[in-house]
Amino acid sequence: MFQLTPHTRIRRSPYFDATVAAGVAGFTTYNYMLLPSGYGDPEGEYWRLRNGVSMWDVAAQRQVEMRGPDAGRLARILAPRDLSRCRAGQGKYVALCNHAGTIINDPIALKLDDDRYWLSIAASNILFWARAIAAERGLDVEVTEPDVSPLAVQGPKAAEVIAAMFGDWTRELKHFHFRRADLGGIAMILARSGWSKQGGFEIYLMDGARGAQLWNMVAEAGRPWGIAAGAPNAVERIESGLLSWGGDTDDATNPFEVRLGQFVDLDFAGADETVGIDALRRIRRHGPARHQLGVILDGDAPAPPHPVWYDIEAGGRKVGDMTCGVWSYRLSSNIGFALIARQIAPGARVEVVRDGRRIGATLTELPFS
């Protein structure tokens, strides 16, 4: 195998030393930062997330802060979703699009105050995008990347760990809502969110010098529930149908193709100035060309990692792509997502072309379970 060559351009998270001490086995990069990808026991990490509780360094989910009199207006220009009833302390999942209606990121928008928003971004450069749009529209807003680094606590036992740390009020926190909750003199925000469907929280550390301290506090608080280090889990997220922007999308994917239409509003007050709104209205009128389904491959041996898209064929011609794939420990099958011609329906039989071989497969609705 080969190694990732260090470079100062590829940043370390505030939790870097703690993850190394915890035995991190691999990293990927995300927003120009190292993102741990596992600790050497993929199946154990999966079951801990499903049955217990896991802690993840997700500092690479960087924040784009928009601050100033036009912060709300910039949020509205960037996000085709009605945020007018979003309160301070509330977040919403949004599909940022370019002028063609192509998704360029799928962040959580957090409203901290009327004049202060964060976009908690997936891996694309929204700092540059937001600054460019703000300047072109002549807005009075400052766009920065603050010193904020999320640490996720995910799994059915996450609520116990978080209540032990922060108190019982956290049990009532609604999904995507958040509150300032400093602990041990460390500035942080606690949110109910996270990139799994097993329930959980994200602690947004607001002081990069205190990463090891926060990591150790969570590890200590979680000990009674068997907490251990993990990472955003590909198996769980595919079973649960969560989108990975940039992995499951290409340079022509619009929100309606990948099941994000439910998070897109087209006719709210001020929508006419939102980037991409005309294209999105047109796409909704005509219907998207592709849609996203689950795919279950025939055979019962775990497939190798899935570093590229695989062609999906039906009747001998290409009808779409398999954009991700994993061995599902629960379904005992290789499963993944298909981005495929809209005419092809769930239940259809197709062939996935992997390394020159054709593998029979069945399409299904998402999520798998």
Name the nearest CA neighbour of 107 among 85, 133, 82, 78: 78
3 state DSSP class of 188: strand
> Per CB under 6 A, does 122 bind ligand THG?
yes
Q: How far apart are CA 55 and CA 224, in angstroms?
A: 14
- Least separation in angstroms between residue 291's CB and ligand THG is 16
Near ligand THG by CB under 6 A: residue from 35, 77, 112, 121: 121
**Which amino acid is located at 20 in the chain?**
V
Near ligand THG by CB under 6 A: residue from 36, 52, 101, 194: 194
| C-beta closer to ligand THG: residue 72 or 194 | 194
Would you state the structure tokens that stand for residue 186, as one six-digit string? 């460390």
Alpha helices in 175-267 (DSSP H): 211-222, 234-240
- Least separation in angstroms between residue 321's CB and ligand THG is 20
Near ligand THG by CB under 6 A: residue from 93, 129, 215, 327: 93
- Least separation in angstroms between residue 58's CB and ligand THG is 7
| C-beta closer to ligand THG: residue 46 or 201 | 201
Name the nearest CA neighbour of 165 among 207, 111, 215, 108: 215
Would you state the structure tokens that stand for residue 167, as one six-digit string? 């108190």
Would you state the structure tokens that stand for residue 161, as one six-digit string? 């760990």
Q: Are residues 273 and 75 in contact, defined by beta-carbon separation less than 8 angstroms?
A: no
- Least separation in angstroms between residue 328's CB and ligand THG is 18
Beta partners for 359? 352
| C-beta closer to ligand THG: residue 193 or 249 | 193
Q: Are residues 91 and 75 in contact, defined by beta-carbon separation less than 8 angstroms?
A: no
CA–centroid distance for 219 within its chain? 23
| C-beta closer to ligand THG: residue 60 or 71 | 60
Near ligand THG by CB under 6 A: residue from 13, 19, 54, 61: 61
- Least separation in angstroms between residue 61's CB and ligand THG is 4
Total residues interacting with ligand THG, rule: CB under 6 A: 15
> Per CB under 6 A, does 193 bind ligand THG?
yes
| C-beta closer to ligand THG: residue 188 or 312 | 188
- Least separation in angstroms between residue 106's CB and ligand THG is 5
Q: How far apart are CA 28 and CA 369, in angstroms?
A: 27
- Give the strand pairing for 63-67 and 90-93: unpaired
Of 20-28, 116-124, 215-223, 274-282, which part binds ligand THG (CB under 6 A)?
116-124
Name the nearest CA neighbour of 243 among 123, 116, 83, 112: 123
For ligand THG, what does the binding mask look like between residues 133 and 172, x meaning CB under 6 A? -----------------x----------------------
> Per CB under 6 A, does 106 bind ligand THG?
yes
**Which amino acid is located at 1 in the chain?**
M
- Give the strand pairing for 54-57 and 228-230: parallel
> Per CB under 6 A, does 242 bind ligand THG?
yes
What does the binding site for ligand THG look like in residue numbers (CB under 6 A)? 61, 93, 106-108, 120-122, 150, 193-195, 202, 242-243
